[in-house]
Amino acid sequence: MKRLMKFAVVLMLETMLLTGCNAEKKASAESVIVHVTALKGPTAMGMVDFMDKSEKGEIKDNDYQFEIVAAVDEVTPKLVQGKTDIAAVPANFASVLYNNTNAEVQVLAINTLGVIYIVESGDAISDVSDLKGRTIYASGKGATPEYALNYILTQNGIDPEKDVTIEWKSEHAECLSALMADENAIAMLPQPFVTTAQTKSEKIRVALDLTEEWDKLGSDSGLLTGVVVARKEFVEQNPDAVQAFLEHYEVSVNYVNKNIKDAATLIEKYDIVPAPVAVKAIPNCNIVFITGVEMKQKLSGYLKVLSEQNPKAIGGGSLPADDFYYGL
């Protein structure tokens, strides 16, 4: 009888342990709310298939809630205050966040390579040297556009402070308006806004591709435009959700690049740009999905170039440490 009671107690304890383990496994796999913020442009364009499937209930592992904003200034407080968990931001801005939040941000993936261009209505600009003495309308002060332009100008013997006038606008749409209002205007625009401009006026042409101008300088790093970052606390507390997000995002990026017409329809649905513009812009948007070792190699090299040109470009501190790069 005693043996039977002892066996029953042992069996009960084993059952409790097994139940506890299963409960822990179940809890770790439970659906969580994932707040995602993207900038209006190529970074958001690569997410549209993901957004559409989530909205339709086809993705059930987590509750992904997307928000598209017009300016990077809207992203910072959301990340710092924990109102968003994952965000698509300019490449250098990820380092700025890292250096100014006590390393509380990790970069998950590179999502956009170089997409920045100098455009005009005439034919006055054929070389970087032609920009000297001109006014350039631009958006993205304090982010990749500003530092990429300054680097290219400086390396070509042009002082960004003295030799050109850069009129900074809060949104790319304002640069487009300035370009349309003055036939002699010059603007720095990313895709898909270049294509938007060209649909409004046949005279507007790409004068300089800043990716090509960057490459001419012989740097080991290419020009990067955008990355996806996450709050480190969220990554640590929800590793399964972060991994699931990346898997869905990669599928979405591949879908957008391979199914341009259908993707363009979704891009219009989410009020990023009209579908006819998106069809023409997608092939030139350099939407990618790069993670791991390749991500670190490309991004660290790019940030090194920026820091040598202006430490403020990466947040005024040292280059991010290895813990900045997710998955290494």
Q: pLDDT tens for residues 185-198?
A: 899 998 888 998 89
Mean pLDDT of the chain: 88
Rounded to two decimals, what is the model's pTM? 0.81
Query: What pLDDT is attached to residue 29?
Result: 57
Using the predicted structure, report yes or no on whether residue 164 has a pLDDT greater than 90.
yes
Site of tokens 């017009």: 70
- For 277-294, write each residue's pLDDT tens digit: 999 999 999 999 999 999
Largest Cα–Cα separation, the chain = 100
Report d(CA 219, CA 314) in Å as an integer: 17
For residues 24-35, average pLDDT? 67
Query: What is the predicted pLDDT for the residue at 153?
Result: 95
User: Binning pLDDT at 50, 70 and 90, where does residue 37 land?
Assistant: very high
Could you tell me if 60 and 266 are in contact, meaning their C-beta atoms sit under 8 angstroms apart?
no
List beta partners, residue 205.
120
| Rounded distance between C-alpha atoms, residue 315 and residue 197, angstroms | 32
Other C-beta atoms lying within 10 Å of the C-beta of residue 123: 9
Within 10 angstroms of residue 274's Cβ, the number of other Cβ atoms is 15
Give 283's DSSP letter: G
Q: What span, in angstroms and rounded, lies between the C-alpha atoms of 121 and 85? A: 41
Q: Which residue has the higher pLDDT, 202 or 16?
A: 202
Confidence of residue 89 (pLDDT cuts 50, 70, 90): very high
CB 324 within 8 A of CB 107: yes
pLDDT given at position 222: 85
Three-class SS state of 178: helix
Q: What's the start-to-end Cα distance of the chain, in Å?
A: 57
Q: Is there a cis peptide before residue 192, judged by omega within 30 degrees of 0?
A: yes
Statement: residue 42 has pLDDT above 70: yes
Order of strands, sheet of 165-169, starting from the edge strand that comes earlier in the sequence:
165-169, 135-139, 186-190, 116-120, 205-209
Q: How far apart are CA 49 and CA 262, in angstroms?
A: 9
What are the tens digits of pLDDT across the range 109-144?
999 999 899 999 889 999 999 999 999 999 888 888
* pLDDT confidence bin for 9, thresholds 50/70/90: very low
Q: By mean pLDDT, which of 151-155, 195-199, 300-304 is the weakest?
A: 195-199
Interval 71-76 mean pLDDT:
86
Q: Where do the domains of the chain lie, and which CATH numbers do they carry?
A: 28-114+223-324 (3.40.190.10), 116-216 (3.40.190.10)
